[in-house]
Chain A
């Protein structure tokens, strides 16, 4: 069964077809969330919420966009909601307490994505991820980010420039 057939069957209420869609996309979504969230528990929650929302609103999916684009758009929306809640919840928790939380699925500190996370804005980080990892087109990225294509191009260019000037990153790349 093709992806489009799976989507239309799932839109008719076939849960087993939706389960196949989940199986196809969960690793891609989870990788993005794992690198983007504070810890794996947040990533778990956002992943779960994303699929629940996708299932609820499957009828609204517009086939002119890739299914992954639609899923990433939902994930980003849920992530931004979580960030707002998270900022409120963080008040009163010390940095030491946060550091004490052991997370076996935390992204390695030497991983380039971890370094980038410290250096660029969350939006710029997302653009880089969708462009290099998801290999999404500028148009698709603009749709996910709810921005214009020029905004995406500019953002991508600026991020590359910024990363080129990052000394730690340059040293790391030279060492490789």
Chain B
């Protein structure tokens, strides 16, 4: 057989036999169970962009709420004097160091407040992620 004819024959045969495989593939794809499995796996797969958007939105919310809390702490509202704990502090400097008292009156309330803020932020983050 002439090489040119051979190539022509080969090309025809390649296309014909591919059609046989395509028919097999179509028959297999007509199987409802296979289709269902494919659809289920697609439903389970999260859309990358949506998930990324949610994460960015949640991070932005956490940052915003964090800044809001910090700003409110730094700038006391008008009409208020300094927090009671701060007014007590200078008098305490003149006293003999009493670590137990200092812990109870200054550190512990601050720690409690800090923990409350952290809990609020965690709850907010969890809420945003579950949207």
Contact = CB atoms under 8 A, between A and B. Distances in A.
Chain A complexes with chain B: yes
Interface majority SS on B: helix, strand, loop or mixed?
helix
Contacts of B15: 132-133
Interface in B1-59: 1, 3, 6-7, 9-11, 13-15, 17-18, 20-22, 24-26, 28-29, 34, 37-39, 41-43, 45-50
Interface in A143-166: 160, 163-164
Contacts of B29: 26-27, 30
Contacts, number: 101
Size bracket of the A interface: 35 or more
A108 B41 CA distance: 30
A124 to B, nearest CB: 13
B9 A52 contact: no
A47 B25 CA distance: 11
Given A11-B49, A48-B38, A59-B49, A164 B10 contact: yes
Contacts of A7: none
Interface residues of B, number: 33
A164 B48 contact: no
Interface stretch (A69-77, A85-93, A94-102, A168-176): A168-176
B10 A113 contact: no
Nearest to B6: A164
Contacts of A108: 20
Contacts of B25: 27, 30-31, 34
A174 B1 contact: yes
Contacts of A51: 38, 41-42
A15 B42 contact: yes
B22 A31 contact: yes
B14 A132 contact: yes
| Chain A to chain B: the 8 pairs with minimum beta-carbon distance, closest first | A30-B25, A31-B25, A133-B18, A112-B17, A56-B48, A31-B22, A132-B14, A173-B9
Interface of B: 1, 3, 6-7, 9-11, 13-15, 17-18, 20-22, 24-26, 28-29, 34, 37-39, 41-43, 45-50
